[in-house]
């Protein structure tokens, strides 16, 4: 009997339990791919496997946990049986907001552990299965990093998240150039607000109750109000799905996929002019111009 893996190209997507990762995995399954998808909680595996059937294999690992990651690599290697992964899609991420002078350092460290070191650790672990190994046969795989427009633009209170995505951009460029001898293409996808649970999960920290005892209280309240308004206008995951599809299918994929025009505006305008544009968009121009205590 022919195994499914023998007739289906295989991809690995991190963070498939909800949001963008779930949408990417489902789209690739519908297009005939075998999908390995990472989840952090074992209880998520049953519903996903029931939903997607035999073409989906869940991998229970945290991108920051070396032991569970090593187990996942062994499982995927066994299932591939000598075949290369067609693509690794680094989607798992977290987002926390706050003024840099008050945001807990542990929260900032967690942002980097997941969004930066998690991406690098997972990529390094699966690189041999993408074809970065001596004597590899078959077509090399692709790496797609789900970055953000925040990798080019930093708004107030999102500096830690933006810094992590700046780092993802740098890793993407470095990997693309360093993996050229293996024929592995590396791309970054840079969406803005997409309908997902990324910011909803961050909201569990009750952001409106934070920083109320600081000088930023009024600005923080307005920032969160503006953020909620932006989230209500978020674009559907399909815009990311189309970019992922091009990145793994195109003969010559783009090095980056900016999915919002503001990315280009930020590249063109002088910094201080762009500052004012950001303040206006957030509705904090007057508040941010106040000199605290003066």
Catalytic residues: 161
Nearest to 146 by CA among 92, 182, 109, 102: 92
Give the whole-angstrom CA distance, residue 47 versus residue 292. 51
Give the whole-angstrom CA distance, residue 145 versus residue 91. 7
Question: Rounded to whole angstroms, what are the CA distances from 134 to 72, 100, 128?
Answer: 22, 45, 9
Which tokens sit at 122? 């997972």
Going by C-beta distance under 8 Å and a sequence separation of 6 or more, which residues neighbour residue 191? 20, 146, 148, 149, 235, 239, 240, 243, 259, 260
- In the block, tokens 């690098």 appear at 120
3 state SS of 11:
strand
How many CB atoms sit inside 10 A of residue 155's CB?
20
Question: Rounded to whole angstroms, what are the CA distances from 162 to 60, 112, 187, 256?
Answer: 27, 10, 18, 16
Helix (H) / strand (E) containing 190 = strand 185-190
Strand partners, 69: none
Decide: residue 233, CB within 10 A, 0-12 exposed, 13-18 middle, 19+ buried.
Answer: exposed
């Amino acid at each position: 009997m022919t195994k499914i893996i023998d007739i289906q190209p295989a991809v690995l997507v991190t963070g498939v339990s909800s949001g963008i990762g779930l949408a990417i995995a489902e789209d690739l399954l519908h297009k005939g791919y075998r999908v390995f998808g990472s989840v952090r909680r074992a209880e998520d595996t049953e519903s996903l496997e029931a939903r997607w059937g035999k073409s989906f294999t869940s991998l229970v690992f945290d991108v920051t946990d070396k032991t569970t990651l090593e187990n996942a690599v062994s499982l995927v290697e066994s299932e591939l049986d000598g075949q290369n992964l067609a693509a690794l899609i680094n989607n798992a991420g977290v987002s926390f907001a706050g003024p840099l002078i008050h945001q807990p350092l542990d929260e900032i460290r967690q942002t980097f552990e997941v969004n930066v070191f998690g991406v690098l650790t997972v990529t390094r672990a699966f690189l041999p299965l993408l074809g970065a190994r001596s004597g590899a046969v078959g077509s090399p795989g692709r790496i797609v990093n789900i970055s953000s427009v925040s990798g080019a633009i930093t708004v107030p209170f999102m500096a830690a998240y933006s810094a992590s995505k700046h780092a993802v951009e740098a890793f993407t460029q470095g990997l693309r150039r360093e993996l050229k001898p293996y024929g592995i293409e590396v791309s970054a996808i840079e969406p803005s607000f997409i309908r997902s649970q990324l910011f909803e999960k961050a909201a569990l920290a009750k952001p409106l109750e934070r920083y109320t005892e600081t000088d930023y209280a009024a600005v923080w309240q307005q920032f969160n109000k503006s953020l909620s308004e932006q989230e209500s206008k978020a674009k559907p995951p399909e815009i990311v799905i189309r970019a992922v599809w091009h990145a793994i299918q195109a003969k010559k994929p783009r090095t980056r996929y900016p999915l919002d025009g503001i990315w280009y505006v930020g590249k063109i305008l002088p910094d201080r002019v762009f500052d004012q544009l950001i303040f206006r968009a957030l509705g904090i121009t007057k508040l941010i111009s106040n000199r605290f205590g003066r």
